[in-house]
Structure 1
Amino acid sequence: MRLPRKKSGFLLIEHLIALVIISISLVAFMGLSTAFLKIKDRLNVPDDIKWHVAVQQMNFNYAGFRLTSFNGYDPYTAHFENMTSEKIEVITLVSSWKDGGKIYKGAGGSGGHQPFLYGIRSLSIKRNGSRLLISTTLNQGSTFRLNFAPKNRAIYVKVKEAKEKKNEKP
Structure 2
Amino acid sequence: MSKIPLTVVGAELLRNELHHLKTVERPAVINAIAEARAQGDLSENAEYEAAKERQSFIEGRILELGSKLGNAQVIDPKTINSDGRCVFGATVRLEDIATGDVVTYQIVGDDEADIRQCKISISSPIARSLIGKYSGDIAEVQAPGGVREYEIVNVQYI
TM-score (norm 1): 0.30
Of structures 1 and 2, the one with the larger relative CO (CA 8 A, separation 6+) is: 2
TM-score (norm 2): 0.32
**Structure index of larger Rg:** 1
Q: Which has the higher helix share?
A: 2
